[in-house]
Amino acid sequence: MISVVILGAGNVATHLFNAFDKSDKITVAQWYNRNIGSLKPYKNKVDITDDLSNLKEADIYIIAVSDDAIARLSSKLPFENRLVVHTSGTVNIHDLDKKNRRGVFYPLQTFSKAAPIKFRNVPMCIEALDKTDFKTLKSLAKAIGSKSHKINTNQRKTLHLAAVFVNNFTNQLYRVAHEITEAQGVEFDILKPLILETAKKVQDLSPYMAQTGPAKRNDKKTIEKHLELLDNEQHKAIYKLLTASIQETHGASTNSATDSQKKIK
Amino acid sequence: MISVVILGAGNVATHLFNAFDKSDKITVAQWYNRNIGSLKPYKNKVDITDDLSNLKEADIYIIAVSDDAIARLSSKLPFENRLVVHTSGTVNIHDLDKKNRRGVFYPLQTFSKAAPIKFRNVPMCIEALDKTDFKTLKSLAKAIGSKSHKINTNQRKTLHLAAVFVNNFTNQLYRVAHEITEAQGVEFDILKPLILETAKKVQDLSPYMAQTGPAKRNDKKTIEKHLELLDNEQHKAIYKLLTASIQETHGASTNSATDSQKKIK
């Protein structure tokens, strides 16, 4: 049985609590938040507190607060030599106060308050300064069904950056498509199966191999027509830049020699 | 029973043939291609031909060739007053030769040669100049399990443009993420669950509501760190432009009044 104390009450903290609570291999010894009001709905399920001096003993302390608050909270912990981890994609493992054993338990997934999350679909990026601690974090990931990956701080920062591209920026392209269709009285819903298929396609195929469309074909006529259709300057700029990026990746013409050189894997 | 003749042998033509062939409500009377070699593998399943003067009678002639070739092929058909449709997202219905009854049967989905496609996940955008023809095309869509939508030429062009954003451009963001991760020796595979979840999220939630991340939060520190991490100028430009676009959508600060004004639906 692994005992944990959760610190923080945001999306990640809450989803982790729900997953831990369901697992028969994990016990949540306590849940801390500066503002105890956020934890009140859970008071019959777990010991809640807003007092750091009152923290119980546990195998792992999970700091799931905003990036800026991690270092300060870790320094305020009233104990030493225990395993303390944060859940951030960008914060250095060494930003945690060195009076404790340090680690990172970063779930690489998008969390929303409302939607339940299946942790078997959440890759867990794990880092620890100590081998035994690393194993403990791996067991914790396994106990909620997550696949764990050994990822150091630099790699984690790279993953966080890449995640912004495939999550936030991709979602903004969906938003632009929503604006374009609504402006012409067309239902955005018609695009939803395509959105899903595009994401499914790269589960088995590299993005390089999955690419199609006017930019890759260098179909100038269609590209021009599309630019004429766009009346928003920012949308036009996005269209031009991503078209140029596709052509940079695939070569302006369908030169297969260049293509294979630029191919990853 | 609906009888069809397919003209062309590309991805769309081939996927349509396979779907028609499986349906007990559709018979493929003939499959035409200029180069009969591409059709040879199907010669035991369907009557194949490379001779337009030899075309059989059918309820619907489906021209599934490249955009540039549609008008010319339609003008070369040696008959009149039959229902002839194309499958393009960008070609005007009036580009089909007016000697025949005209329509459009545009599947809004990404097709690849290798991957099989489930037509229940393919919205069919239908246009016809005649009411009875529209109904025939609707029945054809239904017979392969597709949901059909009445979409005129302008709306179809808008959808095609929006599809480039959610499909080609999104896929290019996946590609950029692939380049970023591989350069740091991190496995792109770790991002795949996030890619899928991002697409799933907007099946129920608007892209506006689904957005998260540093750009939306106007988290300048993280944005700066990300830009420092990027060494490719084009990747930097994409990061800046899409960050600006997210901030344009959500307001540079988290001003909820502005937010709700800009919200679609």
The string of pLDDT tens digits covering residues B212-223 is 999 999 999 999
pLDDT above 70 for B259: no
Distance of residue A105 Cα from the nearest chain B Cα, in angstroms: 14
Interface with chain A: mutation pick from B106, B197, B239, highest number of A CBs within 10 Å: B197
Mean pLDDT over residues B10-31, rounded? Answer: 96
Tell me the chain B residues in contact with residue A141 when contact means C-beta distances shorter than 8 Å: none
pLDDT at B203: 96
C-alpha distance from residue A17 to each of A105, A234, B236 (Å): 14, 41, 37
Highest mean pLDDT among A56-65, A212-221, B247-256: A56-65
Query: What six digits make up the tokens of B144?
Result: 């392969």
Q: What percent of chain A has pLDDT over 70?
A: 95
Write the residue in B109, B175, B237 that is nearest to A193 by C-beta. Answer: B109
Name the residue in chain A with its Cα closest to that of B213.
A168
| Interchain CB contacts (distance < 8 Å): A and B | 314
Helix (H) or strand (E) holding A181: helix A170-183
* Of A114-128, A161-175, A221-235, B49-63, minimum mean pLDDT range: A114-128
- Nearest chain B residue to A116, by CA: B201
Taking CB atoms and an 8 Å limit, are B195 and A121 in contact across chains? no
Which one of A182, A189, A197 would you mutate to disrupt binding with B, by most B Cβ within 10 Å of its Cβ?
A197
Q: What is the mean pLDDT of residues B107-125?
A: 88
Q: Do domains A2-151 and A156-262 have the same CATH topology?
A: no
- Residues from chain A contacting residue B15 (CB–CB below 8 Å): none
Mutate to test the interface with A, among B119, B172, B221 (most CBs of A within 10 A): B172
pLDDT digits (tens, 9 = 90+) for B54-64: 999 999 999 99
Q: Can you give the pLDDT at residue B208? A: 97
Question: Using the beta-carbon criterion (under 8 Å), do B234 and A214 form an inter-chain contact?
Answer: no
pLDDT at A243: 98
Pairing of strands B101-107, B124-128: antiparallel
Return the CATH superfamily for domain A2-151: NAD(P)-binding Rossmann-like Domain (3.40.50.720)
Q: Residue A62: which H helix or E strand, with range?
A: strand A60-63
Q: What is the average pLDDT score of chain B?
A: 94
CB–CB of A201 and B110 under 8 A?
A: yes
pTM, two decimal places: 0.91
Buried b (16+ CB within 10 A) or exposed e, B5-31: bbbbbebbbbbbbebbeebeebebbbb
- Using one digit for the tens of pLDDT, what is the confidence trace for A79-106? 999 999 999 999 999 999 999 999 999 9
Residue A257 confidence (pLDDT): 39
Reported as a pLDDT band with limits 50, 70 and 90, residue B257 is: very low
Contact B201 A171 (CB under 8 A): yes
**pLDDT value of position B236:** 98
Burial of B78 (0-12, 13-18, 19+ CB in 10 A): exposed
What interface predicted TM-score (ipTM) does this complex get? 0.92
Distance between CA atoms of residues A230 and B165, nearest Å: 12
CB-nearest to B194 from A109, A226, A237 is A109
**Chain B residue with minimum CA distance to A121:** B193
Is the pLDDT confidence value at A259 over 70?
A: no
| CATH entry 1.10.1040.20 includes domain B156-262 | yes
Average of pLDDT values for A45-49?
A: 98
Mean pLDDT of A149-177: 97
Q: Please name the member of A68, A167, A184 whose beta carbon is closest to the beta carbon of B198.
A: A167
Greater confidence (B242 vs B110) lies with B242
Mean pLDDT across A198-210: 95
Q: What is the pLDDT of residues B119-157, one digit of tens each?
A: 999 999 999 999 999 999 999 999 999 999 999 999 999
Which residue in the set B110, B173, B230 is minimally distant from A194, CB to CB?
B110
Per mean pLDDT, which range of A74-88, A140-154, B148-162, B251-265 is the poorest?
Answer: B251-265
Q: What's the gap in Å between the CA of B262 and the closest CA on chain A?
A: 10
Q: What angle is formed at CA A160 by the lines to CA A107 and CA A118, rounded to 5 degrees?
A: 25
Domain ranges of chain B: 2-151, 156-262
Q: What is the amino acid identity at position A62? A: I
Residue of A155, A161, A180 to mutate, testing the B interface (most B Cβ within 10 Å of its Cβ): A161
> What is the per-residue pLDDT across B172-208, written as a single tens digit (0 to 9) for each?
999 999 999 999 999 999 999 999 999 999 999 999 9
Average pLDDT over residues A152-169: 97
* pLDDT exceeds 90 at position B265: no
> Is pLDDT of B229 > 50?
yes
Residue A143 has pLDDT above 50, yes or no: yes
Q: How many CA atoms lie within 13 A of A151 on its CB side?
A: 31
Query: Across the interface, do A201 and B172 touch by the CB < 8 Å criterion?
Result: no
Q: What is the percentage of chain B residues whose pLDDT exceeds 90?
A: 91
Whether A116 has a pLDDT exceeding 90, the answer reads no
Tokens for B112, please give them: 């690849």
Q: Which of B168, B200, B244 sits opposite A213 (nearest CB)?
A: B168
Q: Which residues of chain A lie closer than 8 angstroms to B217, CB-CB?
A: none
Q: Please report the sign of the dihedral spanned by the C-alpha atoms of residue B27, residue B33, residue B36, residue B42.
A: negative
